[in-house]
Amino acid sequence: MTSTTPQNAPFGSILTDVMAITWYRKGAWQPHALKAVGPIEIHPAAHALHYGSECFEGFKAYKWADGSVNVFRMDRHIARLRQSARSLVLPEPDAVQVEEMVREVIDRCRAAVPDAPGALYLRPLLFGTMPNIGAASTPTDEACLVVLASPVWDYFAGGGKALRIYIEEEATRCASHLGVVKTGGNYAAALGPTLAARRGHQADQVLFCPRGEVQETGAANFFAIRDGHLLTRGLDSSFLHGVTRDSLLAIAPALGYRVEERIFTVDELLAWAKTGEAALSGTAAVLSGVGTLIRGSAEHRVGSGAIGANTQRLRAALVAIQQGAAAAPEGWLTRV
C-alpha cells in the first residue's frame, strides 16, 4: 500500500478533530457543543437506522490569499438542509444555530483549512434517534445534528481526466418525490446501478435519464455546454437543486453564455455531444468534464473526448469567485 499524505488523500477521507453536535429532545434543539470527533452513542432501535430518517449537506470554506476563511453560499445550503428535514418529517434545525455550529467548527479548525486550491468541506448531518422499531409510519421525536469538517485538496490534482458516463434509461435514482432531498437513501439507491455501470462499462458515473429525459447523476447535476450556450434541466422535484448549478447559471450570462433551463432528451444530448461539451456540477469538483457518453453498448465521444474549453472557462470563473480572486455576487461568501 502506498502511504496517504494529506495532499493525495481521497476526498472526505480525513476529518478535522473537532465537530459540533446538538440533540433534539422534548420538542426543542438543545444548546450545541464542540466535541472531539469520535463515536457517538445511539440506540440500535434509532429511527434513522431502520426507517432512513437522515439527511445531510456539503459545502466549502476557502482560505483566501489574505488569510481569511470564507464560506460559499452557506445560507443556501442551510436552507436546503431545512427543506430536506421537512420532506423527511425530521425536526427542522434552526438556521441560526446551524450557522453558529459551522462558524465554531471553522474557528476551532482554522489551522486545518488548506490553502487554495484546497478547502475545508463542511458536512452537516441530521438523523432521527427515537428508539422505537414500531415507528415505521411515525416521525421521529428525537434527532441528532452534527457538523463535521474535512480538509480537501485539489480534486483535479494530476490534470483531471474527462469522465465516462453511462446513460441509464430504466433504473431511477430515487423515489420521484425525493429528488430534491439530500438524503443517504438516494445514494444507496443509486449505488447498485452505478457499480453495474462501472463493472460493465468502466463508467465513472451514471446519468439517470428516466423516460429518455436527462436528469442528473448519483451526486451531481448535468450540463450540456457549447460556445455561448448552456443547457441544463429546469428545476422540478425529480433532482437535487445544486447550489453549484445555480451559481454557474448566475455567472454564465456575464461570460457571454445564453442559459437554457428545460427538459431535454438523451437523443438531443447525443446530437449535441458531437460538437459540444458536457459536464457534471457539484460542490466537490465544481465542474467536471465528460469525455464519453455510453448508451447501451455504444460509446459516444463528447466533442474531442477531452475536457472542453468552455467547461474549463466556466469552472475557472466560479473557482475565482470562491477563492476571492474575482468579485462575488452579493451574499455569496460569508467571512468566518
Ligand X SMILES: *Cc1c(COP(=O)(O)O)cnc(C)c1O
Q: Count interface residues toward ligand X (CB under 6 A).
A: 14
- In the complex with ligand X, which residue's Cβ is closer, 105 or 219? 219
Q: How far is the CB of 13 from ligand X (least distance, A)?
A: 18
Rounded to whole angstroms, how far apart are CA atoms 49 and 17?
A: 25
Rounded to whole angstroms, how far apart are CA atoms 153 and 77?
A: 21
Candidates 32-40, 147-155, 212-220, 305-313; binding stretch for ligand X (CB under 6 A): 212-220
Rounded to whole angstroms, how far apart are CA atoms 336 and 331?
A: 13
> Which residue from 240, 249, 251, 290 is in contact with ligand X, where contact means CB under 6 A?
240
| 53 neighbors 47 (Cβ within 8 angstroms) | yes
Candidates 28-36, 269-277, 279-287, 319-327; binding stretch for ligand X (CB under 6 A): 279-287
- In the complex with ligand X, which residue's Cβ is closer, 173 or 300? 173
Grid coordinates representing 292? 464519453
Rounded to whole angstroms, how far apart are CA atoms 46 and 43?
A: 5
Q: Give me the helices (H) in 177-242, please.
A: 184-201
| 198 neighbors 327 (Cβ within 8 angstroms) | no
- The reply to whether 242 sits near ligand X by the rule CB under 6 A is yes
Count of residues in the chain = 336
Q: How far is the CB of 108 from ligand X (least distance, A)?
A: 24
- The reply to whether 216 sits near ligand X by the rule CB under 6 A is yes
Name the CA radius of gyration of the chain, rounded.
Answer: 20
> Which residue from 93, 282, 303, 324 is in contact with ligand X, where contact means CB under 6 A?
282
Candidates 107-115, 156-164, 217-225, 319-327; binding stretch for ligand X (CB under 6 A): 217-225
Site for ligand X in 150-209 (CB under 6 A): 182
Q: Which helix (H) or strand (E) holds 310?
A: helix 309-322
> Which residue from 113, 189, 203, 219 is in contact with ligand X, where contact means CB under 6 A?
219
**Site residues (vs ligand X, CB under 6 A):** 58, 182, 216, 219-221, 240, 242-245, 281-283
